[in-house]
Structure 1
């Protein structure tokens, strides 16, 4: 009996003996959240306890009935996973980068204890100062402890792997350089550290100061006193107050310039400065060109540099450029092309019945293949009766009639999108009676004058002919004392 009891004691001791699985390396970032992944036990009716290093006082525990107890010093930062016994640490502090020990105790059917030690190592990305668009971004991913098999990669703010970005250069130490950043590079950049199948993330916020993206297509408007031309120019990311007021990269000035297109007139290619930005205080536009510009959009808090213009003419066709200047000769620019649709009538907007009328809808140049015009005639008229093509830029009315009078609207379309439209009012009038009377009198007067001139010409010619006949006859001299024929001596 004595030997049997001794044998049982040895067996029980073997089951009570703790089993260790070795240290598990986990990476985390200061201020972030990390999960120390403890595998789920075969039975849920166990006691789980987490310790810091070799401390004997548990940080958090859960008994076999599911009741949790947390150290008051860690109450707001620790929790246990609902599905297993993993430890979740929130708002990681610098002093948290050390060892954590997990202990599981199962008392049924036989007492058994398992523990696992985790080593929390930090991973971080050095913050960078705000950048102007066009500059290079340099980031470095720092790891407290690097083990064989540890891998690092980078994700852009759009969560795209930078290994496929032609602008990105990733060096041997995993430091990153992105050439010529734009406003799309503004946001959270992430260094992903992979070790033993687990991933840790280190984020850093990158501020890229850039102007709003330029329009991919021209702005289309039309000739009208009511048309409003809006020229956008604002910062996609407003500069931080501390940055915009610094001596190194503060805003020094700005301006809007206009370059007329060949369709705008004689000033083609001549750059005109419309307004200049006066830094004040207060911040203000100084208008150089009296073109009906509205500069009221300018604001200090977000530097909205947009302009508006009411009353568009064909002279507004061209390229508008917004420029913001910084110290060290840094400059941001955005250009916007403006196309102006106009319609005109030949010979004039007022035509007489029976007269040929030509309507032309144009941007000042030939339309590209993706653009087309659409005519909307007055309600009483029809394009089918004119026999024109479906979308002619030049519309001909062979013989104007009363039904052709009214508002003709020309619409500019790209695929199924209407870009803009313009209208012209065509007046068709009958020739008044007094005009016909005046025409008749003038015609009679012209005929009378022509007959009079013809009569004078014929009369003069007749007189000249008679004179010529008279000069052609032999003259006979009738002497008072004629002498007989013969020879006489003097």
Structure 2
């Protein structure tokens, strides 16, 4: 019998101690926490007072007559929910102590105490694509039994699973891991969350198809390149960003040419490489967009490379640019009756998944000899005007177009007259030269045939002089 009374006494003491010990509440510094009041007290005229630590005056209170009142000199950002629960946001380090809730209904008083405990997740510096990442969710030791679940970021096109346990390790970080990772703690029928933001440094994928442009469709062309997520440049600099560049490899000679270099510092910008086209313009970078704008010309055909260089590795993306144009075998000014070939070209053979569509000033365009070539045996004034070549994808979407204005002219009469006179003068001069050459050669032949007169000097004494023999 005595033993039973001892057990009952110990049980009462244990229950009393449990009732007097503060209720465990987990929270993260900088986050938001809600401390629930005793909802068993449901009177409409209830007075609710929330006290911080050993303060004699409430930090915030609810009075049925005067409403919600804030305490004086309260540095904590506190508020009350519609159910008069205490809300703290953002949670400060000084808030991790005992909080007491007193509720008064008529002459009855109901009191409950709570204590805030830390749930912490270390701040993660930016992680470069392909590197490893390790995180651990830590809880202050309490009597509460808890379980931890890691919830990955929600990114489109990514299927990720939850991780259970306080620690998480990722070997090859990808863009799917970029965003907010949440450590969810379940304890004593309550939940708490701690979050950390992970920046995964990577470049967005290159366009699957080349960029097609022409002088007819645009004056400039944008060569795209961007970070895969919105990462502040200050974070990139802390991760060891050393520089970056844009380079160009033309289709003609396959020799890489530097175009821009990245200037890293308080101001991040693309600077034009010395010796480049004066039309190239540098620009300051303020967001994740790393693209450049170039003036359109035939010289832009080729492959462009966007690079970001860190201490450990270099991130790179390549973009191919194609330039469409229409060439005329006779130029843009053609005389009537002349034969002309019009060619729609990218500078090389057009891929099989592309097709060419012609538009011309005629009611019906001539049938192309090949898909990209139109042959006109004799041009007339009807061919005068704009000839347009459209480059289409296999799904029918127009990628770009190029145009050429043919100007058909009639050959003037004075031109033919000048041609005839010039031809006559040339023929006359040629005949005169031939006649002079013939006369001179005839005279030379006659001189060689003529015999020369001979003279001698006599040995016998005779009068001085020369005599004919």
Asked if these proteins are the same fold (TM beyond 0.5), I'd say: yes
Cα separation, 2, equivalents of 1:29 and 1:278: 38
Please report how far the alpha carbon of residue 333 of structure 1 lies from its aligned counterpart in structure 2 after TM superposition.
Answer: 2.0
| 1:152–1:174 Cα contact (<8 Å) kept | no
Please report how far the alpha carbon of residue 185 of structure 1 lies from its aligned counterpart in structure 2 after TM superposition.
Answer: 5.5
Please report how far the alpha carbon of residue 340 of structure 1 lies from its aligned counterpart in structure 2 after TM superposition.
Answer: 0.9
Please say if 1:180 is aligned against 2:179: no
Counterpart pick for 1:362 among 322, 339, 345: 345
Cα separation, 2, equivalents of 1:160 and 1:412: 32
Please report how far the alpha carbon of residue 92 of structure 1 lies from its aligned counterpart in structure 2 after TM superposition.
Answer: 1.6
Cα separation, 1, equivalents of 2:146 and 2:157: 20
Tell me which residue corresponds to 1:331.
Answer: 314
Q: Secondary structure at the match of 1:95?
A: helix
Tell me which residue corresponds to 1:426.
Answer: 406
* CA distances 1:149-193 after superposition (whole Å, capped 9, x unpaired): 52322242x47898x428x9x4743324362344x7655443233
Cα separation, 1, equivalents of 2:288 and 2:63: 59
- Number of aligned residues: 400
Tell me which residue corresponds to 2:61.
Answer: 61
Please say if 1:153 is aligned against 2:143: no
Q: Secondary structure at the match of 2:379?
A: coil
Please report how far the alpha carbon of residue 85 of structure 1 lies from its aligned counterpart in structure 2 after TM superposition.
Answer: 2.2
Please report how far the alpha carbon of residue 202 of structure 1 lies from its aligned counterpart in structure 2 after TM superposition.
Answer: 1.7
Please say if 1:239 is aligned against 2:233: yes
Cα separation, 2, equivalents of 1:285 and 1:67: 61
Cα separation, 1, equivalents of 2:211 and 2:140: 53
| 2:217–2:402 Cα contact (<8 Å) kept | no
Tell me which residue corresponds to 2:186.
Answer: 194
Please say if 1:33 is aligned against 2:38: no
Tell me which residue corresponds to 1:320.
Answer: 304
* CA distances 1:405-431 after superposition (whole Å, capped 9, x unpaired): 122222334557654332212233445
| 2:45–2:64 Cα contact (<8 Å) kept | yes
Cα separation, 2, equivalents of 1:368 and 1:233: 27
Cα separation, partners in 2 of 1:419 and 1:145, compared to 1, 3 Å = farther
Q: Secondary structure at the match of 2:349?
A: coil
| Unmatched tracts of structure 2, length 5 or more | 1-17, 428-469
Tell me which residue corresponds to 2:160.
Answer: 165
- 1:2-41 equivalent positions in 2, closer than 5 A: 24-38=23-37, 39=39, 41=41
Please report how far the alpha carbon of residue 35 of structure 1 lies from its aligned counterpart in structure 2 after TM superposition.
Answer: 0.8
Please say if 1:256 is aligned against 2:232: no
Please say if 1:126 is aligned against 2:122: yes
Cα separation, 2, equivalents of 1:23 and 1:153: 27
| Unmatched tracts of structure 1, length 5 or more | 1-18, 447-490
Cα separation, 2, equivalents of 1:358 and 1:137: 62
Cα separation, partners in 2 of 1:284 and 1:74, compared to 1, 3 Å = closer
Cα separation, partners in 2 of 1:41 and 1:377, compared to 1, 3 Å = farther
Please say if 1:45 is aligned against 2:28: no
Cα separation, 2, equivalents of 1:143 and 1:435: 98
Cα separation, 2, equivalents of 1:80 and 1:30: 19
Q: Secondary structure at the match of 2:382?
A: helix
Q: Secondary structure at the match of 2:233?
A: coil
Please report how far the alpha carbon of residue 337 of structure 1 lies from its aligned counterpart in structure 2 after TM superposition.
Answer: 1.3
Tell me which residue corresponds to 1:471.
Answer: none
Cα separation, 2, equivalents of 1:276 and 1:66: 65
- What TM-score, normalized by structure 1, do the two folds share? 0.66
- 1:45-124 equivalent positions in 2, closer than 5 A: 45-52=45-52, 58-74=58-74, 76-81=76-81, 83-107=82-106, 112-124=108-120
Structure 1 vs Structure 2 CA RMSD:
4.5
Tell me which residue corresponds to 2:460.
Answer: none
- What TM-score, normalized by structure 2, do the two folds share? 0.68
Cα separation, partners in 2 of 1:43 and 1:302, compared to 1, 3 Å = closer
